[in-house]
Structure 1
Amino acid sequence: MKKFGLLLVLLCYCCTNRPSEKINGVSFVASREPANVEHVQAIRAIHAGYAAVMPFGFIREKESPEIIFDTDRQWFGETRQGARQYISLLHKNGIRVMLKPQLWIWRGIFTGDLKMNSEADWKQLEWQYADFILTYAELAEETGVRLFCIGTELETFVEHRPKYWKWLIRQVRERYSGKLTYAANWDEYKRISFWQDLDLIGIDAYFPLSEARNPGVSELREGWSRWKTEIEKLQQNVNRPVLFTEFGYRSMDFTAKKPWLVDRNEEEVNLEAQANAKEAIFQEFWSEDWFAGGFVWKWFIHHSRAGGPSDNRFTPQNKPAEQVIRDYYLKY
């Protein structure tokens, strides 16, 4: 009997000390056409168990309350029909989904600057955004997705209308039974007032880590020290796991100086810097029990044509960073 009891203790100890399953995801970029099994096989090849499906709504100006979405003028993957097809295909091939509807302001204006000029416009924006988000919350429930993201990098909107966001979360929960998060920008996440109403703290993790042209892994990990301490402090206060709703680096010189840059600058291609930055973020976070995982930004459905050695953009596809992701996603 004593031996049996000791065995149970040992089994419990081993189980509680194994790394918990991580959300090892990719941000599955919407395309002009439906996805097929070949496109999903490339995701499975890097051992990713999750994909973020991202339908879009469009706004003409940062002061405009009108949101245009689910129209025949959008790419297939940006619509409700396209999101449904992507989700169905991913599920059939064993990939879980976070549905992450996002806004795009014309000319690529930062969504965090979306701000209305009058109370009437704020009210209209609230109504339009609820229509947008609740449409996709219902799709999330119909298709059985695991996670739903209620917004992405909407700092000013969130700051100015806190009661609305509390109301919106309640409305989403009436329609969707899975887990909820919000994708806060790296410099926004500490000011979010509704984390305790959600299931995960979502952060788009574009934290500045180094001003070096080609930083090594040790330097990048040192660059994480301040940010990681602050993230963990919030996690303990809110008592919710942390999810990097986006994480990624461009394959270029100075990639960790301003990781959020999406401009068309002509910095030299630097595949090593991108791989090092991926290595550092995995080493720092993936072994932490309070850390849920993350979604690589970004992954195009036509894998054979994406990225490559001459590309200085975010995708890790067909670059050394892809192997780094594969190794860590296999480990966790």
Structure 2
Amino acid sequence: MRLALLFCFLLVVSCKSQALQKMNGVSFVASRQAVSDEQVKPVQAIAANYAAIMPFGFVRSLDHPELVFDSERQWYGETRKGAKQYIATLQKQGIQVMLKPQIWVWRGEFTGDLKMKSDSDWKSFEEGYRSFAMTYARLAEETGVPVYCIGTELEEFVLARPAFWTSLIREIRKVYKGKLTYAANWDEYGRDPFWKELDYIGIDAYFPLSEERNPGEVVLKEGWQKWKKEIAALSNSTGKPVIFTEYGYRSMDFTAKKPWLVDRNQERVNLEAQALATRVLIEEFWPENWFAGGFVWKWFIHHDRSGGKEDNRFTPQNKPAEQILQEYYQMYASEKQK
């Protein structure tokens, strides 16, 4: 049955003669240590051709204007040196990179709510963010990274300070010659004002699809139609292809209800729900000409001890969802840019 479904899906794909070569990506999580060639092999095994590398900057609170990054107190993979080593190791193994610097707010508060209390604080925060973004834009150019993501889930910052973002994009273009995107949250992307200035519309695709504990394929596909129509319309109106800068599901009951949840809830492990939701998402979006691919959330370098049948977190590693990724990413591995 699985082979028959894959065959039918491949026929649909082959009819999309103008389809872009897809970014079959993983979100490659920073570690305390350097990454080895051996640790890249599981990424190759699922036919991923891209990985998102995510160096971090930190702020103390949602209204604190100081942004700290590339610090000795950070994990190796979160720093410039670590990001450079990760990029080089992946590239050596034939995997392209999207460099995607991100902010972490102390205690894990949502970055989309970052909002300064005064104009002077905004200017101070902007200065720090510009330094952060430009540091990694230069690294992206130095290492030949084909895609650079200028920010991740920063809605209040984007809407409050649009002139800053226009200026930042122009400044980045002066030092970086690759493609630019921004990772908008699933409920943010329709309000961001700068898509025409970038090369890709980037969306962290945690869209709610169903309230059911264990929704089936038909329910999940129906759940996507409203969102898919809106995403396609924005792509059409801007002339920009879409990438899912993050996508994925937790391996638990109610996985499609609030896919963005990162809490430590004890919902029952449901490996098949994660696998099905992953398959449906790929089947809905990868065949579309206006869709350029996505980066599954998330992939740890220590593959042998990540995920597994008792884990209800996001990673697909050592779960049925990993096999889904392998099957469908392999399907697109030979797709050529038209």
SS at match of 2:287: coil
SS at match of 1:87: helix
Code of the residue aligned with 1:39 in structure 2: it is Q
Which stretch of structure 1 is more off in the superposition, 317-326 or 209-218?
A: 209-218
Q: Relative to 1, partners in 2 of residues 1:312 and 1:123: Cα closer, same or farther, differing over 3 Å? A: same
CA contact (8 A) 2:19 2:290 kept: no
Structure 1 residue 52, shift from structure 2 partner: 0.3
Question: Do structure 1's residue 107 and structure 2's residue 107 form an aligned pair?
Answer: yes
Question: Do structure 1's residue 208 and structure 2's residue 216 form an aligned pair?
Answer: no
CA contact (8 A) 1:218 1:280 kept: no
1:147-158 superposed matches below 5 A: 147-158=147-158
Counterpart in 2 of 1:124?
Answer: 124
Counterpart in 1 of 2:324?
Answer: 324
| Whole-angstrom CA distance in 1 between matches of 2:58 and 2:125 | 12
Q: How many residues align?
A: 319
Structure 1 residue 38, shift from structure 2 partner: 1.1
Code of the residue aligned with 1:31 in structure 2: it is S
Code of the residue aligned with 2:171 in structure 1: it is Q
CA contact (8 A) 2:28 2:299 kept: yes
1:63-78 superposed matches below 5 A: 63-78=63-78
CA contact (8 A) 2:18 2:289 kept: no
1:213-224 superposed matches below 5 A: 213-224=213-224
Structure 1, gaps ≥5 residues long: 1-13
Q: Which has the higher contact order (CA 8 A, sep 6+)?
A: 2
| Whole-angstrom CA distance in 2 between matches of 1:241 and 1:194 | 14
| Whole-angstrom CA distance in 2 between matches of 1:179 and 1:99 | 11
Q: Relative to 1, partners in 2 of residues 1:18 and 1:240: Cα closer, same or farther, differing over 3 Å? A: closer
Counterpart in 2 of 1:305?
Answer: 305
SS at match of 1:257: coil
Counterpart in 1 of 2:80?
Answer: 80
Question: Do structure 1's residue 34 and structure 2's residue 34 form an aligned pair?
Answer: yes
Counterpart in 2 of 1:173?
Answer: 173
| Whole-angstrom CA distance in 1 between matches of 2:115 and 2:136 | 23
When normalised by structure 1's length, the TM-score is 0.95
CA displacement 1:106-155 (0-9 Å, x = unmatched)? 00000000000000000001100000000000000000001000000000
| Whole-angstrom CA distance in 1 between matches of 2:110 and 2:293 | 25
Structure 1 residue 273, shift from structure 2 partner: 0.6
SS at match of 2:267: coil
Code of the residue aligned with 2:185 in structure 1: it is N
Counterpart in 2 of 1:262?
Answer: 262
What is the RMSD computed on CA atoms of the aligned residues? 1.0
Structure 1 residue 294, shift from structure 2 partner: 0.2
Q: Relative to 1, partners in 2 of residues 1:142 and 1:15: Cα closer, same or farther, differing over 3 Å? A: farther
Counterpart in 2 of 1:247?
Answer: 247
Code of the residue aligned with 2:298 in structure 1: it is K
| Whole-angstrom CA distance in 1 between matches of 2:27 and 2:217 | 24
SS at match of 1:25: strand
Counterpart in 1 of 2:10?
Answer: none
1:46-61 superposed matches below 5 A: 46-61=46-61
SS at match of 1:259: coil
SS at match of 2:250: coil
Structure 1 residue 21, shift from structure 2 partner: 1.5
Structure 1 residue 15, shift from structure 2 partner: 9.5
Counterpart in 2 of 1:7?
Answer: none
Structure 1 residue 216, shift from structure 2 partner: 1.3
SS at match of 1:17: coil
Counterpart in 1 of 2:335?
Answer: none
Structure 1 residue 204, shift from structure 2 partner: 0.2
Which stretch of structure 1 is more off in the superposition, 211-220 or 112-121?
A: 211-220
Code of the residue aligned with 2:236 in structure 1: it is Q
| Whole-angstrom CA distance in 2 between matches of 1:71 and 1:134 | 16
Structure 1 residue 219, shift from structure 2 partner: 1.0
Matched-pair identity in %: 65
Structure 1 residue 18, shift from structure 2 partner: 6.3
Counterpart in 1 of 2:3?
Answer: none
Structure 1 residue 16, shift from structure 2 partner: 7.0
When normalised by structure 2's length, the TM-score is 0.93
SS at match of 2:328: helix
CA displacement 1:90-113 (0-9 Å, x = unmatched)? 010000000000000000000000
| Whole-angstrom CA distance in 2 between matches of 1:201 and 1:20 | 14
| Whole-angstrom CA distance in 2 between matches of 1:243 and 1:252 | 25
Structure 1 residue 20, shift from structure 2 partner: 3.3
CA contact (8 A) 1:235 1:290 kept: yes
